[in-house]
Amino acid sequence: MDIATHALIGTATAAGLFQTQPALAVGLVLGNVAPDLDALSRVAGKHAFLRFHQTYTHSAGAIATVLAVAVGLLMAGIPVWGELAIGLVVGMAMHVGLDLANSYGVKCLWPFSQKRFALDWIFFIDAFIVGLCFVTLVAQCLCQTDKNLLRWSSIIFVTALMLYVGLRSVIAGRAKRLVNSASNQRGPISIIPTTWSPFRFLVCRQQNGLADTFTLDARSGLETEGEVIAILDENVPETVTQCREWQVMRSLSAFFFCLEIDSNAEGETYTFRDLRIRNFRTKFGKLTCQLDNRGVIQRKTWDV
């Protein structure tokens, strides 16, 4: 999820459930936001951003550390700060759980594993979740003087959110079964959810040096907007595959391919894109490497 959605979720949850425990409420809201502060690593450059984003701050190790601090504060007789830290723990767990349902991947088992995990249930901007947050917050503003209604608004919100995530897991499972049953050849398949419809998925299937991309309706199994794209990776020189940008993107996505090679009197230009994420026609991760006639990289453009 994006950081704004996490903030809305934390606020809608805390407003009714922790009316008499402000420290716990503040901690829960902050915990829903805090893990995404790793995005500040972008200040140190694109490589730092991709290395740190959704890694250590989104992990069991980080949550366990804050939990240990919370226990220590409570045992030391500092209840306000202890409750704040407990709220942080709960909020961070909510944040990591929702990001795990996305497609980017989180290192949720660090320090026990460096692997990124992604369930591909929900796109990081989801229309239903954002709408649910706004409706709940408006209702809470209207009934803020009635503590009972305020509490029930948060209970209904959390219940609806959990049911929705569970439903999305079922729909994503159906989408995967539809794609796998329709595939005549086993090979890498990517199935990414979209923002506006819980039934619409962007599929990329690699077969025989080609990338088959299409949009899938998980209700009917209908495939639309199909396109077959030639994968030109075999023609890419080692000079390019040894550059840091290519290696970083390939480690994040098995569907990061060379799709264009342009030749001219000055040399060749290689263009790479991640075919998994096509929401909003994003260019995230697009890499262009311009080589001279000696095969030396003269210019690189990387959209991150």
Q: Read off the pLDDT of residues 253-278 as tens digits, 9 standing for 90 and up.
A: 999 999 999 999 889 999 999 998 77
Pick from 67, 63, 130, 69: nearest CA to 97: 63
Q: Is the pLDDT of residue 181 over 90?
A: no
| Confidence category of residue 184, pLDDT binned at 50, 70, 90 | low
> Quick one: average pLDDT of 92-101?
97
| Helix axis angle, 147-182 to 3-17, nearest 10° | 140
Q: Read off the pTM.
A: 0.91
The upper half-sphere exposure of residue 255, i.e. CA atoms within 13 Å in the direction of its Cβ, equals 25
Supply angle C-alpha 62, 157, 32, rounded to 5. 20
- Give 232-236's long-range contacts (Cβ < 8 A, gap of 24+): 232/257, 232/258, 232/259, 232/260, 232/261, 232/270, 233/257, 233/258, 234/209, 235/261, 236/270
Q: Is the pLDDT of residue 79 over 80?
A: yes
As to burial, measured by CB atoms within 10 angstroms (0-12 exposed, 13-18 middle, 19+ buried), residue 76 is exposed
The two three-digit tokens of residue 136, written as one number: 């709940």
pLDDT on residue 280: 66
Task: Outline where the chain has alpha helix (H).
Answer: 3-17, 22-33, 46-52, 60-75, 79-100, 127-142, 147-182, 238-241, 244-252
pLDDT on residue 304: 85
Q: Is the pLDDT of residue 287 over 80?
A: yes
> Quick one: average pLDDT of 287-300?
94
| Confidence category of residue 114, pLDDT binned at 50, 70, 90 | very high
**Contact call for residues 236 and 247 (beta carbons, < 8 A):** no
> Quick one: average pLDDT of 51-79?
95
Q: Residue 2 to residues 6, 8, 9, 23, 215: CA-CA distances in angstroms?
A: 7, 10, 11, 24, 23
d(CA 233, CA 2): 32
